Amino acid sequence: MSSIALYNALVAAGVDKQLANEAANDVAQSEQVATKLDMANMQTSLANMETRLIKWMFGINLGVVGLAVAILKLT
């Protein structure tokens, strides 16, 4: 959304013109606005991280069970 479109939407919603202008300018100058592509990349990254975490948890649990079985066989 362009700053002009944002300004028009804010004015149409009943926001004071001065406040709408300031808000539209602030958004236009901000570099911290996430795009849909940014959000999609973040979602993919989180999904990959979750997969790796589950693999590690399974491996650690398998190792603990194996260690427990080995200790029980020794006693």
Confidence tier at 3 by pLDDT (50, 70, 90): confident
**Alpha carbon distance 39, 42 (integer Å):** 5
Quickly list DSSP for 32-47: -PPPHHHHHHHHHHHH
What percent of the chain shows pLDDT beyond 90? Answer: 68
Each residue's pLDDT tens digit, 30-53:
777 778 998 999 999 999 999 999
Per residue in 43-60, is it b (16+ CB within 10 Å) or e — as a string? eeeeeeeeeeeeeeeeee
- Checking if the pLDDT of 1 tops 70, the result is no
- Checking if the pLDDT of 58 tops 70, the result is yes
Mean per-residue pLDDT of the chain: 91
